[in-house]
Structure 1
Amino acid sequence: MAVLNWGILGAAKFAREHMGPAIHAARGARLAALATSSEEKAQPFKAFAPDLKRHDSYEALLADPAIDVVYIPLPNVLHVEWTKKALAAGKHVLTEKPIAMAASEIDGLIAARDAAGKFATEAYMIVHHPQWQLTRRWLDEGQIGELRHADVAFSFNNPDPGNIRNKPETGGGSIPDIGVYAYSSVRYAARAEPGDLRAVIERENGVDVFAQVTGEMIGAQGRFSYAAMTSTRLHPRQQVVFQGSEGLIRLTCPFNANVFDQAEVTLCRKGEPDQVQRFPGVTQYVLQVENFVRHVTEGADYPWTLEDARGTQAMIDKVYASEV
């Protein structure tokens, strides 16, 4: 496998704790550079990638001819701008979710990607995890009969007013932060798009901190009811259930595998023992980087494109428009 040199824009906590180590550990990837004006912030990255080069600015990293791929974990409102700049600099780009704040912005990213002839996509890591690939296969195979309902819960408690997730100027809120999981996961697994929706949203200081979305999705097997709750003011909880006429599929750690809990997916059908699949040791961030490298260097299939991200952002836009 060819090796691609990766650079990171900014010393974000998530990059330091998750994506930086994942890039370093992934086959075919080398964490080569970090853009930050602070040597102190660069030190934790150098602890696991001692040959890391520090650039004082984002522009300097983009100008580095040794960098093949740029990973962007900046605040949400900066994703579109810096993805376009990275593409214009001739880099492949992996940008954190949500990659944009409105579906129309992704049209410009698609155009920039095509003009640059480089690969750019949203870092939607769960589609790389085998629990979600298995869930999609079970649904495709009709293992639970006719899919009739899907419900999602994703919450954690983050009341810190200084956190970027609680600032409207940085694109904060529970819907941009974790609604992207609650909506995309069902879109992906059931190959479905939203029909009529109804959203009840609570806000603090200009950002949504609770959202209850109900309605219907329209998938490969027809229409089914849908309910999703996201909150950044509740005790941590993660669960997704797909319920059909002949059984159900339950994921008890659907989003933050190995952080919230061990990834586990269960198939329940009447008169049969439950089928439980567990995935200890699987790191979805590493799989995401390795799949990115294989796509760029070998043309391998990649499960999440800008077009997929646009579909989720269109659903987020629809949720806001459906508020009652």
Structure 2
Amino acid sequence: MTHPVKWGVLGAATFARDFMARAIHEAEGAQLVALATSSIEKAAPFQAFCPELEVFTDYDALLASDSVDAIYIPLPNHLHVEWAHKAMDAGKHVLVEKPIAMTAGEIDGVIAKRDATGLLCAEAYMIAHHPQWARVRALVTEGVIGDLVHVDVAFSYNNAADTGNIRNRADTGGGAAGDIGVYAFGCARLVTGQEPEAITSTRVVREAGVDVTTEITAKFPSFAYHGIISMRMAPYQEARFHGSKGVIVVKTPFNARVAGQAELEIRLSDHTRIETFPAINHYALQVENFCRTVREGAVYPWDLENAKGTQAMIDAVFAADQGQ
């Protein structure tokens, strides 16, 4: 790429500070140039690793800047759709933190705006950019474990003590499903390309209007699914793809490098082998793929239609729970 994509970050979220802004700063073909924050003191940690960063105290002023090509939005969930529209109205490409919307229906308008403007707008679903997931998809597609029979996924952490956290607040679109359900539910879709035919059972625990633990079973066209997500259980994550001839265990499926090394355990009838993916930053890969799509027209690995599919599954989970 001859010219880097110049990025602005809308909001000084902790996740942006610790992960995504750094990934933009480090990614090939990208340049972090601007941050908008209503609290100017929150800009200091960003400027520590990106001293040339321009800081705006108004979100709209950043969107109006001619020095910015693309916007990363890590705002609270309920603001994602609104600011995605505003960013595209300002002529900016947009990478929106997951979940991009609170319901699947809201994504239709974002898709329409993307198509009308010709801009790239995508959900920041970083696992779709990690080579361990491309490898799982290839192994399943090639029939290495035979016919896929069952998928089992667990993802949990405990933030009960952090009562002010936006994930624990209904007014900011909090809840386990939006935060980590997109991974636990969506990874089955990512690997197989299949959509659930039915949510066959649900158990949803809520606190103060927020889903804190959700356990489901679902029927896909050619396999059964079980998943559990929680913000009230000890930290744990694992995905298991069980076939007629073998099993693939994804040891750190979602927070590679943070919760552990990205590693696949492939168990076949006559042997077990381990494949590792050390030192891969899937956040940086996500940014680099985004920039390639913007500059070269490369196919982006996770489009809005894919994001809508996972949100539709989450919507179906809550609808099934309410119907019980």
Q: TM-score, normalised by structure 1?
A: 0.97
SS of residue in 2 equivalent to 1:109: helix
* Alpha-carbon displacement from aligned partner over 1:35-81 (angstroms, at most 9, x marks no partner): 01322100000011110000111100000011000000000000000
- Match for 2:298 among 274, 297, 300? 300
SS of residue in 1 equivalent to 2:8: strand
Q: Distance in 1 between matches of 2:127 and 2:51?
A: 29
Q: What displacement does 1:128 show?
A: 0.4
- Match for 1:178 among 177, 180, 191? 180
Q: What displacement does 1:109 show?
A: 0.2
- Mapping of residues 56-135 of structure 1, within 5 Å: 56-135=57-136
SS of residue in 1 equivalent to 2:127: helix
Q: Distance in 2 between matches of 1:58 and 1:142?
A: 49
Please say if 1:212 is aligned against 2:215. Answer: yes
User: Percent of aligned positions with the same letter in both sequences?
Assistant: 54
Q: What displacement does 1:199 show?
A: 1.2
Q: What displacement does 1:274 show?
A: 1.5
Superposition CA RMSD, Å: 0.7
Q: What displacement does 1:289 show?
A: 0.3
Query: Gaps (5+ residues) in structure 2?
Result: none
The answer for the alignment partner of 1:275 in structure 2 is 273
- How many aligned positions are there? 319
The answer for the alignment partner of 1:249 in structure 2 is 248
Deviates more, 1:85-94 or 1:299-308: 299-308
SS of residue in 1 equivalent to 2:223: strand
The answer for the alignment partner of 2:289 in structure 1 is 291
Q: What displacement does 1:217 show?
A: 1.4
Q: Distance in 2 between matches of 1:28 and 1:275?
A: 35
* Alpha-carbon displacement from aligned partner over 1:269-320 (angstroms, at most 9, x marks no partner): 101x222111111000000000100111011121100010010110010010
- Mapping of residues 35-54 of structure 1, within 5 Å: 35-54=36-55
* Alpha-carbon displacement from aligned partner over 1:18-41 (angstroms, at most 9, x marks no partner): 001000000010100000132210
Q: What displacement does 1:267 show?
A: 1.3
The answer for the alignment partner of 2:165 in structure 1 is 163
* Alpha-carbon displacement from aligned partner over 1:217-264 (angstroms, at most 9, x marks no partner): 12xxxx211000000000000000000000011001000000011110
Q: Distance in 2 between matches of 1:189 and 1:37?
A: 40
List, as ranges, runs of 4+ consecutive aligned residues in structure 1 with deviation greater than 2 Å. none
Q: Distance in 1 between matches of 2:256 and 2:46?
A: 22
- Mapping of residues 16-27 of structure 1, within 5 Å: 16-27=17-28
Q: Distance in 1 between matches of 2:274 and 2:298?
A: 29
Q: Name the amino acid aligned to 1:196.
A: A
The answer for the alignment partner of 1:190 in structure 2 is 192
Q: Distance in 1 between matches of 2:39 and 2:210?
A: 30
SS of residue in 1 equivalent to 2:33: strand
Query: Gaps (5+ residues) in structure 1?
Result: none
